[in-house]
Amino acid sequence: MIAVKNARELSLMRQACKITAAARALAGEMVRPGVTTKQIDKAVYDFIVSQGAKPSFLNYHGFPASACISVNNTVIHGIPGGYVLKEGDIVSVDVGALYGGFHGDCAATFPCGAVSTQAQRLIDVTKQSFYEGIRFATKGHRVSDISHAIQTYVESNGFSVVRTFVGHGVGAQLHEEPEVPNFGAAGRGPRLIPGMTLAIEPMVNEGVYDVRVLKDGWTTVTADGKLSAHYENTVLITDGEPEILTVAEGL
């Protein structure tokens, strides 16, 4: 069942999403050579808690950190640790915050210092594919209209969209119905109605779309070892244009 949020619930979600977006921005500012992924994770934890919220990811199905930090060929669910960022890395940071019983969820990929032209293009195409997708995140469209727009844009730029993992509804639960794939034919899936809140998150690979999960059960890497990028926002379906909730204004 797809949860449609009322005005009170949306008020709480907006605050959760502001905190989440600010945590993403803080993490992005810390992406520079010499910083460990664990240092970024601690800063994300400290900030979210300072805002009266809880990190959504910490201990979620046993995940051991507050942020997923995925470097270079790691697609998603990278576990922060002692890895020291170096010039040329690309660093995906996925964060969530629980406030007042509701979650925000967002991600972005940041360049560490100067990166290759190809790496920067991958980051840019991934982010723009989100915006191509939300053109269809309006009342009356179907979920797969978003999916199809993302896939079409990504593949037209020579990259591939991950198929094994998808976006999702978000609200009182971190992962709710419906699933929001980043691929597929248009005109399928649930019809969008005002009050639905979706975590739309293109995961884009430089090479093939296939991925594999490492022995830790979390870290997901590209099958061919090439780069991957990630971009995500929590989006509200309205009577008009979609509203991106994961913006940090007012904090």
Token pair belonging to 47:
């900030």
Q: Which residues of the chain have pLDDT under 50?
A: none
Helix (H) or strand (E) holding 244: strand 243-244
Alpha helix positions (H), 135-180: 143-156
Task: Return the closest-CA partner of residue 91 out of 47, 29, 46.
Answer: 29
- Dihedral over alpha carbons 146, 229, 163, 198 (to 10 degrees): -40
CB-based contacts of 205-211 (< 8 A; 24+ apart in sequence): 205/75, 205/159, 205/160, 205/161, 205/162, 206/118, 206/122, 206/159, 207/160, 208/160, 209/160, 209/161, 209/162, 209/163, 210/164, 211/75, 211/162, 211/164, 211/165
What was the pLDDT predicted at 67? 98
Strands 220-222 and 167-169, bridge-based pairing: unpaired
Return left, alpha or beta for 147; rule: phi > 0 is left, psi -120 to 50 is alpha, else beta: alpha
Specify the CATH number of the domain 7-244: 3.90.230.10
What was the pLDDT predicted at 249? 67
What was the pLDDT predicted at 203? 98
Residue ranges covered by each domain of the chain: 7-244
Helices 37-50 & 7-30 angle (0-180, nearest 10): 150
What was the pLDDT predicted at 248? 79
What was the pLDDT predicted at 170? 98
